[in-house]
C-alpha cells in the first residue's frame, strides 16, 4: 500500500514537472554578451544585452548595445514571431524587424529599412 502511494505521488510530480518544462517558452529570457568569449572585427557594433518578454500574444524585444561608431544603442520591438515586419523603435539603421521561429531554439530575423517620402 505504501509503495503504491509513493509511486502514484512520484508519477504525479513527474507529470507536473514535465508540464512546467513544456509550457516554458525557450525564446523568453535575458541574454548578455560575454566579451571575453566573443570575437568581433574592429569597428563592428554589438548587442550587449537582449531581453525577450511576453506581452499577451506578442513578444517584446529590448536591445542595448554599442554601435559601429562606439555610441550606445537602444531599441524596442513588439510583435509576433510570425515572419511579419513590425515597427522597431530606437536609434537603429532599420525601421522594422520580422522574426520567425525556425524551431524550439532558433529564430530567423529580417531587418527592413523603409524609405520615407515627403509629400
pLDDT in tens, 72-116: 999 999 999 888 999 999 877 788 888 888 877 666 777 777 755
Mean pLDDT, to the nearest integer, of 65-77? 90
The residue that leads in pLDDT, 67 or 8, is: 67
- What does the domain layout of the chain look like in residue ranges? 26-112
Q: How confident is the model at residue 119 (pLDDT cuts 50, 70, 90)?
A: very low
Q: What is the pLDDT of residue 45?
A: 85
The 3-class SS string of 21-71 reads HHHCCCCCEEEECCHHHCCCCCCCCEEEEEEEEEECCEEEEEEEEECCCCC
The residue that leads in pLDDT, 36 or 15, is: 36
Q: What is the pLDDT of residue 118?
A: 45
Q: What is the pLDDT of residue 117?
A: 44
Q: Is the pLDDT of residue 20 over 60?
A: no
The answer to whether 92 and 73 are in contact (CB under 8 A) is: yes
Mean of per-residue pLDDT scores for the chain: 79
- Using DSSP's 3-state secondary structure scheme, residue 118 falls into coil
Amino acid at each position: 500500500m505504501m509503495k503504491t502511494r509513493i509511486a502514484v505521488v512520484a508519477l504525479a510530480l513527474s507529470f507536473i514537472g514535465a508540464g512546467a518544462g513544456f509550457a516554458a517558452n525557450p525564446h523568453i529570457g535575458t541574454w548578455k554578451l560575454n566579451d571575453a568569449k566573443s570575437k568581433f572585427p574592429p569597428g563592428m557594433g554589438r548587442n550587449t544585452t537582449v531581453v525577450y518578454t511576453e506581452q499577451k500574444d506578442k513578444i517584446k524585444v529590448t536591445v542595448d548595445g554599442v554601435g559601429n561608431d562606439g555610441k550606445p544603442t537602444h531599441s524596442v520591438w513588439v510583435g509576433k514571431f510570425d515572419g511579419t515586419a513590425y515597427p522597431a523603435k530606437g536609434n537603429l539603421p532599420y525601421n522594422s524587424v520580422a522574426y520567425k521561429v525556425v524551431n524550439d531554439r532558433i529564430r530567423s530575423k529580417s531587418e527592413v529599412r523603409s524609405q520615407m517620402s515627403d509629400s
